[in-house]
């Protein structure tokens, strides 16, 4: 009934479904490509939505780039892997993408399937052009090293927070800029602007996912910097409790304000894009992020449940 009360959103969603069907017919028939696009839909419906904006060659490169980094992230996120095992995997992951036989069982649900059948991702990666491969390898190497660093390091200061977000998301912006350049469709963007594109998205997700992350089993992993949250509470988990709602919202607003610092450079980055398809690909996640920031600001529900933009509203 919610969607029916907003018919303009229903139309936008129908158009999206039609476009998705057209894209599905363009997927290469080989098993490894079928796996890659099927897995993309399972591990990130939102990214599967925006990737539809790209032409076939660049779309394939971005799909594999995303899955490689999602696999790397699955290793980082699995708190059941001992540190002495996890760190070398993260540091060497960029080598594994060239090995069709490599896999490592970890994660849960769709992420476990991605890791168990990673050979399909490697096979597809090895079919990409050399320029795409080098960009993906470089980002995977740098991101794995950064993740390994923060396995053993807490996010204490805002500088730590910016550094962590650089490794896990700013480098995604850096890599995408190089994929766009390798495709011959865009000039190579400044690293600082590429970094801001990733930081804005990552910080928004960290803010939105407070409750999910703080309740993670067997052990929570939080990236809200102590330099910010310690001004409002003795412990980060205190914000879960209703009696601390006022301080929780004050801290939340501080976090959102910090994320919005990157918005201007995101606009600079997008204003320089020449290809309309790449512009749409970049703009849709940024619109989602700015909308999510607006929903989160001054909203105590961030500490009680899920805060998320409606997909239909995004598409209008």
Fold assignment, 164-169+180-316: Farnesyl Diphosphate Synthase (1.10.600)
In the structure encoding, which two tokens stand for residue 238, read together? 């205190």
Fold assignment, 28-153: Farnesyl Diphosphate Synthase (1.10.600)
Measured distance CA(309)–CA(151) in Å, rounded: 31
Q: What is the pTM of this model?
A: 0.89
Catalytic: which of 95, 98, 221, 241? 221
Catalytic: which of 59, 70, 178, 208? 208
**DSSP structure class, residue 232:** T
* Whole-number average pLDDT of the chain: 91
Measured distance CA(293)–CA(291) in Å, rounded: 5
Catalytic: which of 174, 200, 269, 281? 281
| Residue 96 pLDDT > 90 | yes
pLDDT grade for 20, boundaries at 50, 70 and 90: low
Each residue's pLDDT tens digit, 267-283:
999 999 999 999 999 99
| Residue 112 pLDDT > 70 | yes
| Residue 19 pLDDT > 80 | no
| Residue 57 pLDDT > 70 | yes
> What per-residue confidence (pLDDT) applies to 46?
78
Residues carrying CATH 1.10.600.10, the chain:
28-153, 164-169+180-316
In the structure encoding, which two tokens stand for residue 179, read together? 């994929």
Measured distance CA(83)–CA(195) in Å, rounded: 28
Catalytic: which of 47, 164, 223, 269? 164
Q: With the C-alpha atoms ordered 291, 209, 13, 24, is the resulting torsion angle positive or negative?
A: positive
Q: Is 221 a catalytic residue?
A: yes
Measured distance CA(207)–CA(67) in Å, rounded: 23
Measured distance CA(309)–CA(43) in Å, rounded: 18
List of residues 6+ apart from 95 with CB closer than 8 A: none
Each residue's pLDDT tens digit, 185-236:
999 999 999 999 999 999 999 999 999 999 887 777 889 999 999 999 999 9
Measured distance CA(151)–CA(293) in Å, rounded: 27
Measured distance CA(227)–CA(163) in Å, rounded: 14
| Residue 55 pLDDT > 80 | yes
Q: Is 125 a catalytic residue?
A: no
The secondary structure of 155-175 as a DSSP string is --SHHHHHHHHIIIIIHHHHH
Q: Is 59 a catalytic residue?
A: no
Per residue in 223-240, is it b (16+ CB within 10 Å) or e — as a string?
A: bbbbebbeebbeebebbb
> What per-residue confidence (pLDDT) applies to 12?
56
Q: Is 181 a catalytic residue?
A: no
Closest to 171 in 3D by CA, of 73, 103, 263, 88: 73
The secondary structure of 251-294 as a DSSP string is HHHHHHHHHHTTHHHHHHHHHT---HHHHHHHHHHHHHHHHHHH
């Amino acid at each position: 009934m919610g969607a029916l009360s907003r018919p303009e959103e229903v139309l936008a969603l129908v158009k999206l479904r039609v476009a998705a069907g057209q894209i599905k017919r363009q997927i290469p028939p080989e098993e490894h490509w079928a796996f890659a696009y099927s897995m993309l839909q399972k591990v990130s419906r939102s990214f599967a939505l925006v990737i539809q904006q790209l032409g076939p060659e660049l779309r394939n490169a971005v799909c594999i780039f995303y899955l490689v980094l999602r696999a790397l992230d699955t290793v980082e996120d699995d708190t059941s892997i001992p540190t002495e095992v996890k760190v070398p995997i993260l540091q060497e992951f960029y080598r594994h993408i060239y090995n069709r036989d490599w896999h490592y069982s970890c994660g849960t649900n769709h992420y476990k399937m991605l890791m168990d059948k990673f050979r399909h991702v490697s096979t597809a990666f090895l079919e990409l052009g050399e320029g795409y491969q080098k960009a993906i390898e470089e980002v995977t190497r740098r991101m794995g090293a950064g993740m390994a660093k923060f396995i053993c390091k807490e996010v204490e200061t805002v500088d730590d927070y910016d550094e962590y977000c650089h490794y896990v998301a700013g480098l995604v912006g850096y890599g995408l800029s190089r994929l766009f350049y390798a495709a011959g469709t865009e000039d190579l963007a400044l690293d600082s602007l590429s970094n801001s594109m990733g930081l804005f998205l990552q910080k928004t997700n960290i803010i939105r996912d407070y409750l999910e992350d703080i309740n993670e089993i067997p052990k929570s992993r939080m990236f809200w910097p102590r330099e910010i949250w310690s001004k409002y509470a003795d412990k980060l988990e205190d914000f879960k409790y209703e009696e601390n709602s006022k301080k929780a919202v004050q801290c939340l607003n501080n976090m959102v304000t910090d994320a919005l610092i990157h918005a201007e450079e995101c606009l600079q980055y997008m204003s320089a894009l020449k290809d309309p398809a790449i512009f749409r690909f970049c703009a849709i996640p940024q619109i989602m992020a700015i909308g999510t920031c607006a929903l989160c600001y001054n909203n105590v529900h961030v500490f009680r449940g899920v805060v998320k933009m409606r997909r239909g509203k995004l598409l209008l």
